[in-house]
Structure 1
Amino acid sequence: MTMITQLQSSLMQHKTRFDVLNHAASMTTREAARRAGIPPQQMAKPVILDDFQGHWLMAVIPASRHVDLEKVHKLTHRHWRLVHERDFGKRFGDCDVGAIPAVGNLFGLETLVDQSLTEQPDIYFESGRHDELVHMSGKHYMALIPEAKSGRFCE
């Protein structure tokens, strides 16, 4: 099953109301938001972190912000470093590099969501492709990742 099919199956299994928004291909999450005409603070950008011991974390932040690793450390009581896309591409199946869906549990990853995203009425995230976004309510997004923790950890 392709990642896009797996994502759609998961969304339907959770009875999540969503739609898919096509846009001109883009190479960054912020550019995808711009091309799709959506506010970057509603665009969920996954950032993959490693705790220096092989444990990975998906930190989900608005496309308009950056992860503050010190704040993530304070929330999790572990030190983290950014994982480069070239180092994790295979883990995310057939997703285009840089277009990973911001749904960590789909990949078996612990997920941390910045508090500012939980306050958004609508959330958009990459579908696994550089030319389409998944759109849903913020409430449905958080219900899709029930194990996710939240806190303020971006700048």
Structure 2
Amino acid sequence: MIDAALLAEAEALLALYRARGLRIVTAESCTGGLVAATLTAIAGSSDVVERGFVTYSNEAKTELLGVPAGLIAAVGAVSAEVARAMVEGALGRSPAEVALGVTGIAGPGGATAGKPVGLVFLGVLRRGGAPAVERHVFAGDRAAVRAASVAAAFRLARAAAHTSPPKA
């Protein structure tokens, strides 16, 4: 079940995107589609949510989003570089105006030295702009890390809606 606070944030984000004539595409790994699921839990969201990519495996990131396999091998799937490549790939494969990307370690396993459980990289890209990436280390269990990732992604999406569109 999706948290009521996240649903309220989703509803507000959808209203903002409608008002600005924007559509969104998601590229998700550790959230497994939860960003898109939260947005689409709101009736009528299809005018804003253009599509979503759940790219849980490294192969999916490469095949569906065009993230170079060599990049993943060099820096790991949980990295700023891969988050950036995910949003670039998602926007390149969609007519949406804004892409959101999430890659991280939701736990309880999967941590490595230097990459703890809760480490999440979030990316956002507005068409014609430059990608922005944030690094977070969220506390709590798997559900808490995933919910915090969705909330942070929504915050990034709100900020992207307020940036000026590129000049033609």
TM-score exceeds 0.5: no
Q: Which has the higher strand share?
A: 1
Task: Decide which structure has the larger Cα Rg and report it.
Answer: 2
Q: Which has the higher helix share?
A: 2
TM-score by length of 2: 0.29
TM-score by length of 1: 0.30
Greater RCO (CA < 8 Å, at least 6 residues apart): 1
